[in-house]
Structure 1
Amino acid sequence: MKELINFILQFGNLNQQQIDLITGKATHLEIKKDDYFSEAGKVSVQVGFVLDGVMRVCYYDKKGEEITKYFIDENNLVVDLESFQNSICSSAYVQAVTDCKLIVFSKSDWEELLNTIIGWDTIVHKIISRSLMQKIERRSPLVSEDATTRYLSFMEKYPKIINRIPLSYLASYLGITQSSLSRIRKNIR
């Protein structure tokens, strides 16, 4: 639980009573590899914080091919924000790439925190803003760089997860085939 509190305190100050309220609303959840935290076609009803493991956000394109949008590892929030905030069906899946341990909040508990803790909405807004900036930073190079450069950049930026995710997911994220990724990996060894 201290990992969650340390994460939150990066974005604002809370007193002990507020911290106790947050931890009182939190529950632990374990998700097995390949299981879903939230699914396309369903409304996302919880916010999670990854204590251990790697998750990914993915969707299926018009051809029915699975596309990995991004990965979420330890000490990060995981939520399908648009679905969660607007109570609409999600268009993406949030899936455990490895066995995962999370701290989760139900929608009603999350909203209670927003309505009870003064400044919680500001903290949440800062967390969301940082997350959106990270998404942009992750995706922008994928458009302009060649596949080898994208792979090397991924290795440099995410050394903690490169060996924990299947090559098929990584290839999908990089926008290349798995055989192309295998060739790239072989050429840089």
Structure 2
Amino acid sequence: MKELVAYILKFGSLNQQQIDLILSKAQEREIKKENYFSEAGKVSVEVGFIIDGVMRVCYYNNKGEEITKYFIDENNLVVDLESFENSICSSAYVEAVTDCKMIVFSKKDWEELLNTIIGWDKIVHKIINKALIDKVSRRSPLVSEDATTRYLSFMEMFPNVINRVPLSYLASYLGITQSSLSRIRKNIR
């Protein structure tokens, strides 16, 4: 739980009583590889913090092809924010790419923290803003770069993820075929 506390304190200050309250609402959970944290067609009812492992957010396009939108690794929050906040069905899946160890908050407990801890809403807002900025900064270069540059950028941005995800997921994220990715990897070595 110390990872979660350290993460939260990067975005604001809390006293020990507030930290204890947050930790009292936190539940540790393991999610096995290929299992879902949240699913398309269902309302997201939990916020998670990844202690160990990698998750991915994916969806199916209108051709039925699975598309990986992004990866989330250790020391990051994971939530389908639109579904969670608006109580609407999600359009994406959040799947464990590896076995994951997480700290999880139910929607009820999360809202109780928002209503009880003064300043918690500001901390959460800063966390969400950082996540959105990170997401945009990671995706934006992928639009204009060639496939090799996209792969090299991914290696630089996600050094802890590159060797932990299947090539099919990585190829989908990069918007290329798996055979193209294999060729690029072969040429780089």
Tell whether the structures are fold-level matches, with TM greater than 0.5. yes
- Tell me how far apart the structure 2 counterparts of residues 31 and 107 of structure 1 sit (CA, whole Å): 18
- Tell me how far apart the structure 1 counterparts of residues 159 and 10 of structure 2 sit (CA, whole Å): 23
CA offset at residue 46 of structure 1?
0.2
Matched with 1:17 is 17
1:74 counterpart letter in structure 2: E
Matched with 1:92 is 92
Matched with 1:154 is 154
CA offset at residue 138 of structure 1?
1.0
1:99 counterpart letter in structure 2: D
Give secondary structure in 2 for the equivalent of 1:3: helix
Aligned length: 189
Give secondary structure in 1 for the equivalent of 2:121: helix
Give secondary structure in 1 for the equivalent of 2:12: coil
CA displacement, residues 36-87 of structure 1 (integer Å, 9 cap, x when unaligned): 0000000000000000000000000000000000000000000000000000
TM-score normalized by the length of structure 1: 1.00
Matched with 2:80 is 80
List gaps (5 residues or longer) in structure 2. none
1:178-189 aligned within 5 A: 178-189=178-189
Runs of 4+ residues over 4 Å off in structure 1? none
CA displacement, residues 76-111 of structure 1 (integer Å, 9 cap, x when unaligned): 000000000000000000000000000000000000
- Tell me how far apart the structure 2 counterparts of residues 65 and 105 of structure 1 sit (CA, whole Å): 31
Identity fraction in percent: 82
TM-score normalized by the length of structure 2: 1.00
2:156 counterpart letter in structure 1: E
List gaps (5 residues or longer) in structure 1. none
1:175 counterpart letter in structure 2: G
- Tell me how far apart the structure 2 counterparts of residues 6 and 101 of structure 1 sit (CA, whole Å): 17
Q: Superposition RMSD on alpha carbons, in Å?
A: 0.3
